[in-house]
Structure 1
Amino acid sequence: MRMTKSLGKKLAVLLSAAVLAGSFTGCGLLQNTEIVFTTGLSGNQLFKIGKSVCTLPEAMIYVMDYQRQYEGVYGVEMWEHDFGGVTFEEYVKDTIVDQLASMKAITLLAGDYDVALSSDEENQVSQAAQEYFDALSTDQIEYMDLELKDVEGLYRDHALSGKVYEEITKDVNTEVSDDEARIITVQQIRLDSSETAQTVKEQLDSGRDFAAVASAYSLDSQITYTFGRGEHDSAYEEAAFVLENDQVSDIIETEDGYYILKCVNNFDQEATEANKITMVEKRRDELFESVYDQLVAETPSQFNSRLWGKVHFADWTGEMPPDFLGIYEQYLGT
């Protein structure tokens, strides 16, 4: 499972955003699922994870939300385009199921961590659901086979999953030192041989301008780089992080060539502070993953592929419904 963006926000917001970015795919929760047609699932039940059920009307909320976003940018013709061996429609449908499966599974942990929505949060769920449902046309409601309770249930799951995430990760160590999070900026020259590197180093030692020499010799068109620890080869990183401002390094040998660096800024304070937040979020993510992975391994699930196979984006050509996740943000996104 991968959750690396905006981890400090509520998980519900994270899930919705990460899927659009292609960065969160439900950890394959339904990849080894029992595929069923009728046994074990009834009526409009699309899948079941443990005791948590996702209905087709709930999934249709996501279908319409994705259709509204993608068709508004790329047009209706995109659904049949090849996307890595599957149609774009198949890819998005798989993403939707993985998204919903992840959220439904996470809510199963609420009891273990004594997490529940407050009365105020329940009221916000109801208000958000009412606003979304009231904005739907009769045709949209009929097409999605939707009732108000379906909208309320999905908003409730979003909110509850966020609270579960916060509870699991509340005791993560939030202390990060300046040096751990330090972000620096360097200019670099990358070369393909030690002989060329020695020639370049001699020119720099004689006083030639670093940027001019880089433009003449470097294998890369880009000269200036900003980064933190853990992003480069260890030899490169060790040399970079001991440089003072305007200092030029010795020749650095790595697997992909030879480097000479000049330090532009050995402590970008604003970027370092932002990196501290990112590092804490990564710690929270790693802790949550360990709990989530165990849940995935232990939770049986069933999926009705025939029911899902009947859903096609091209079947709806009317006006699109309101922004489901946008309304969630208005009421529960803080």
Structure 2
Amino acid sequence: MRSVKRLYARSMKKRRILWISLICVLLIITGCSQIRISTDSEWMMKMDESKLEKEEVRTIALTQSSLFQQFYVPLTGTEFWNQLIEENQTFESYAKDTIVFEEAAALTILNAIADSWELELTDSEKDLAKQAANEYFDIMSKEAKRYTGANRSDVTRLIQKYVRALDVIDLLAEDVNMEVSDNEMRVMDIQVIIFSDQATAQQVKAQVDAGADFLSMAKQYSITNTYEYSVRRGELAEALENIVFAMDSGTVTEVIPVGDEFYLIKCVNDYNETLSEENRSNIQQQRIYEMWMDTAEDFVLDRKLEINERSWNHLSLELNTEAQNTQLFDIIENYFPSILQSN
């Protein structure tokens, strides 16, 4: 189940619209005292005056649960919610206390920041949020509406909070240096042979210098079964990175000792244009994320994230097929593409 969980995490990477995970880490950094348990019945999560009502959190849960079920049921059947992924932790507990919690916590904190900045939606944003909510509510089944308890106003309010949260991230991005040099963003395509002894490495190096095909030699001699990589800065061992990123296409290194192993590397392409452009975006996103984390960490230091324990404990992620609905984030993206593209 753990490998399936990792596969899901990779395939669903973009299905959490705030893209901000690790909220739990943020709260741990600032101390467990920053979480307060409440039994107030009017809301599910709260920071200052920023609140998520039960219906809003359940709508987030509906989306995440539907994505989980669409992904897992064909692989593992309908019992995956009850499978243990850690000692004494079911998959449902993991999904609720990480995926759903982090999304809801991020939304709550970002809206609390928006309150402190006195940031309000424009009339145009409010109108688009209402249109998006109407579209989403109209495609919700009776079972989905029963599960969430949400009406049109609840969905409108939730989407407005998402837009407001994204506006905060957009404003934070204005203070981020978005310039990324070609050298920073560069992704290279390389082939690698790893040896367990230096003598064999030197013999193969001599054969490659004499014209032997590098990839064929890798398949014959490498102690690993993977020979081709696309790499960016920060992914290689320090002993390799400076050497590799100084290479030109078609060149081969000398034998490089790294610990008890010996490396021979060929540069196939010293600048993969497509992957380098993707990496530019990744670097920019990481800078925005770091700005967000710094801002959020400072913001929550003297505040508490309150959780309605009774409502949270009653939240179940297991849905019948008729209740499933994965369209919330797609609809928000359709109505607010400019905000999402900038984030």
Q: TM-score range by the shorter chain?
A: 0.7 to 0.9
SS at match of 2:21: coil
Instruction: Report the counterpart of residue 11 of structure 2 in structure 1.
Output: none
SS at match of 2:79: helix
Q: Normalising to structure 1: TM-score of the pair?
A: 0.84
Shift of 1:189: 1.0
Instruction: Report the counterpart of residue 115 of structure 1 in structure 2.
Output: 119
Instruction: Report the counterpart of residue 220 of structure 1 in structure 2.
Output: 224
The answer to which of 134-143 and 303-312 deviates more is 134-143
SS at match of 2:135: helix
**Which of 188, 198, 206 is equivalent to 2:192?**
188
Shift of 1:175: 2.1
Is contact 1:30–1:98 with CA below 8 Å preserved after alignment? no
Tell me, in whole angstroms, the C-alpha distance in 1 between the residues paired with 2:70 and 2:135.
22
| 1:248–1:319 distance in 2 versus 1, CA, 3 Å | closer
Tell me, in whole angstroms, the C-alpha distance in 1 between the residues paired with 2:260 and 2:52.
49
Instruction: Report the counterpart of residue 70 of structure 1 in structure 2.
Output: 68
Instruction: Report the counterpart of residue 81 of structure 1 in structure 2.
Output: 83
Tell me, in whole angstroms, the C-alpha distance in 1 between the residues paired with 2:141 and 2:220.
64
Tell me, in whole angstroms, the C-alpha distance in 2 between the residues paired with 1:291 and 1:256.
43
| 1:256–1:52 distance in 2 versus 1, CA, 3 Å | farther
Is contact 2:205–2:264 with CA below 8 Å preserved after alignment? yes
Q: Does 1:54 align with 2:52?
A: yes
Tell me, in whole angstroms, the C-alpha distance in 1 between the residues paired with 2:166 and 2:15.
9
Question: What code does the residue aligned with 1:80 have?
Answer: N
Instruction: Report the counterpart of residue 288 of structure 2 in structure 1.
Output: 284
Shift of 1:299: 1.8
Question: What code does the residue aligned with 1:77 have?
Answer: E
Tell me, in whole angstroms, the C-alpha distance in 2 between the residues paired with 1:306 and 1:316.
23
SS at match of 2:219: helix
SS at match of 2:113: coil
Q: Does 1:153 align with 2:157?
A: yes
| 1:230–1:319 distance in 2 versus 1, CA, 3 Å | closer
Instruction: Report the counterpart of residue 341 of structure 2 in structure 1.
Output: none
Q: Does 1:202 align with 2:206?
A: yes
Q: Does 1:91 align with 2:82?
A: no
Shift of 1:114: 4.9
SS at match of 2:226: coil
| 1:63–1:229 distance in 2 versus 1, CA, 3 Å | closer
Question: What code does the residue aligned with 1:325 have?
Answer: F
| 1:218–1:113 distance in 2 versus 1, CA, 3 Å | same
Instruction: Report the counterpart of residue 269 of structure 1 in structure 2.
Output: 273
In structure 2, list runs of 5 or more residues that go unmatched.
1-13, 339-343
Shift of 1:142: 4.1
Matches within 5 A, 1:251-262: 251-255=255-259, 257-262=261-266
The answer to which of 321-330 and 95-104 deviates more is 321-330
Shift of 1:29: 5.9
Is contact 1:130–1:148 with CA below 8 Å preserved after alignment? yes
| 1:313–1:221 distance in 2 versus 1, CA, 3 Å | closer
Instruction: Report the counterpart of residue 306 of structure 1 in structure 2.
Output: 310
The structure with the largest helix share of the pair is 2
CA RMSD of aligned residues (A): 2.5
| 1:178–1:319 distance in 2 versus 1, CA, 3 Å | closer
Instruction: Report the counterpart of residue 24 of structure 1 in structure 2.
Output: 21
Question: What code does the residue aligned with 2:94 have?
Answer: Y
Shift of 1:138: 5.0
In structure 1, list runs of 5 or more residues that go unmatched.
1-12
Q: Does 1:169 align with 2:170?
A: no
Q: Normalising to structure 2: TM-score of the pair?
A: 0.82
| 1:111–1:48 distance in 2 versus 1, CA, 3 Å | closer
